[in-house]
Structure 1
Amino acid sequence: MRVDPSKLTSHGVALEPLTDAHAPELAIAAGTIETFRYFTKIPTPFDADGFASYGRFLIEHPTTVPFAVRDTSSGELVGMTSYCDIRDGARGVEIGWTWYALSARGTSINPACKYLLLRHAFEEGPFDSADGSAANAIRVQIKTDERNAQSRAAIEKLGARFEGILRNQVIMPDGHFRQTAMYSITEAEWATAKARLELRLA
């Protein structure tokens, strides 16, 4: 999957390819470990060094492209998000590993990030078709812990379709067997979801 960061800036946010240099500011933005309550991996230790290690884990993962989220109005980093589970042959990708500073939650930051990532996947030809030409995604998925009501509401507000629960999908750091709520947007649904997001961001 080819990603052009220059096309991931709009509506008050800039998605910057993640580097070690982002770690100190991200550690401050995260605030407390509660931010990662529903995450399968937590920065350890919960400081700049831990966030640097956490970032390298994502950067080095072969099917993940992580970003630091910058609020362009304040200039501050306010979270992270990623393309993950990249499936080039199937022209599919997931948006995940997303968290925001407390100050950014409930604002336009999340819909703006999702808009940029969805638009890039569905419109900018980041995949290769069978003949080698540029091709758009046919599916973008988003998943979350079944218990995370706030995240599920935000995903549903995007216009993503609920596909069901993946039972005992992963074991959490505390030993809990996570039931994962799965959502997706297909290429046929993107135009409607796009219009919905643009209305929210206008």
Structure 2
Amino acid sequence: MRDFDNQPDLSGNTLQLRPLADSDFEGMLLAASDPLIWAGHPATDRYQRQVFAPYFAARLASGKALAVIEIASGQIVGMSSYYSPPDQPDAIAIGYTFLTRAKWGGPANRELKRLMLQHAFKAYDTVYFHVAPNNLRSQNAMLKLGATHLYDAELDLSGVPAMCKCYGLSRAQWG
């Protein structure tokens, strides 16, 4: 296993990423409370407290989740994680990501991924992403980053095997 910090403190121009903390629950729930955020995800009802609470607990327990904070307001605007792909345990992936709709369609997702990719590329040559087949918005975001669709696979990322579109982005592709 490589020496890799799964919960770094990272800062960009508009976003700060820091380890997810138990005290983030209410702010994270507020950020996640929009049903449209989850429309393309397998758990379309994750905006509900009773569905979000176990998801948050699992992400917190993973020791790999990051809170995404808007620097200007200090508000939580999303979450993301590093994780080991189940079919490539010696590799690194970025996922379990969501951002508030106010951060869609602008530079926030690119900044979030740039911060996480720069950190990951210090230890890994390739970073992987797994996207639900019906999540076209996230698939398009992967292509905008320069990631390549590598294969489709049934993977257990959250306790239940599900089909995923698997993307990869190499350090050379990134720049």
Same fold (TM over 0.5): yes
> Which structure has the bigger radius of gyration?
1
Structure 1 unaligned blocks of 5 or more:
124-135, 192-202
Structure 2: how far apart are the matches of 1:189 and 1:99?
24
Cα deviation, residue 164, structure 1 = 2.2
Q: Is the Cα–Cα contact under 8 Å of residues 27 and 51 in structure 1 kept in the other structure?
A: yes
Give the length in aligned residue pairs. 171
Cα deviation, residue 171, structure 1 = 9.9
Taking a change above 3 Å as real, the CA distance of residues 11 and 182 of structure 1, as seen in their structure-2 partners, is: same
Deviates more, 1:51-60 or 1:138-147: 51-60
Cα deviation, residue 60, structure 1 = 1.9
1:142 and 2:132 matched: no
Q: TM-score, normalised by structure 1?
A: 0.72
Taking a change above 3 Å as real, the CA distance of residues 15 and 43 of structure 1, as seen in their structure-2 partners, is: farther
Letter in 1 for 2:99: Y
Secondary structure in 1 matching 2:119: helix
Alignment RMSD: 3.1
Taking a change above 3 Å as real, the CA distance of residues 117 and 101 of structure 1, as seen in their structure-2 partners, is: same
What residue number does 2:77 align with?
78
What residue number does 2:25 align with?
23
What residue number does 2:93 align with?
94
What residue number does 1:14 align with?
16
Secondary structure in 2 matching 1:35: helix
Structure 2: how far apart are the matches of 1:93 and 1:171?
13
Letter in 1 for 2:60: I
Q: Is the Cα–Cα contact under 8 Å of residues 95 and 130 in structure 2 kept in the other structure?
A: yes
Taking a change above 3 Å as real, the CA distance of residues 10 and 148 of structure 1, as seen in their structure-2 partners, is: same
Cα deviation, residue 53, structure 1 = 3.7
Cα deviation, residue 159, structure 1 = 0.6
Cα deviation, residue 12, structure 1 = 0.6
Structure 2 unaligned blocks of 5 or more:
none
Structure 1: how far apart are the matches of 2:47 and 2:147?
34
1:5 and 2:8 matched: yes
Cα deviation, residue 33, structure 1 = 3.6
Letter in 2 for 1:181: K
Structure 2: how far apart are the matches of 1:185 and 1:45?
30
Cα deviation, residue 42, structure 1 = 7.2
Q: TM-score, normalised by structure 2?
A: 0.81
Structure 2: how far apart are the matches of 1:51 and 1:171?
16
Q: Is the Cα–Cα contact under 8 Å of residues 33 and 48 in structure 2 kept in the other structure?
A: no
Q: Is the Cα–Cα contact under 8 Å of residues 32 and 47 in structure 2 kept in the other structure?
A: no
Letter in 2 for 1:180: C
1:181 and 2:137 matched: no
